[in-house]
Structure 1
Amino acid sequence: MNAEEVLGAVAEVIESDPHSAAALTLYALVNTLEYPKAGYLFKLDKLRDLSPAHRQLAYRLMDMIAGDQIGSAVWQAAKERMDELVRKG
């Protein structure tokens, strides 16, 4: 999966049920990844709340750090969509 596909899949999880544990956990991870100076403070035990498929999305999000894709135009567009989906919840 490329960055756009990963972010799109995360947005789909959020859109399908914005108040689910999976949606909120993935959304929290997306938000956390925007703060490298804070050490990406994400509570890793929250991964236990995710299904194997959703954990794979989380791992792919974290891998975007290595690819220096956090904050890209694709990231920003997807993040704006996720913000709106959570707000509308």
Structure 2
Amino acid sequence: MMWSVTLVSENKLSNKNKNLIVELIDNESHKATRKYKFILHNILEGNNFSEAIIEGGECAVKNIKDVLKNNLNHMLVNGNIQYFPIFM
């Protein structure tokens, strides 16, 4: 199943922060155990958000959300991380 995982920040994300988000998601795609495996298709970026389009199970998506939340909590003061399925 295809998923959208979106990190939304109340403040503008710097290029350094956006690169960190990409690095965390990319690293997780390479090291995830079988249960949490996923394919990263694309990352879309705006001023205050980064959105990853991935293919995998719901447990993989929840794992990505946890990884982002644990590592980027400083960016999420009044922001959040959302995920939802993409229906084709």
TM-score, normalised to structure 1's length?
A: 0.30
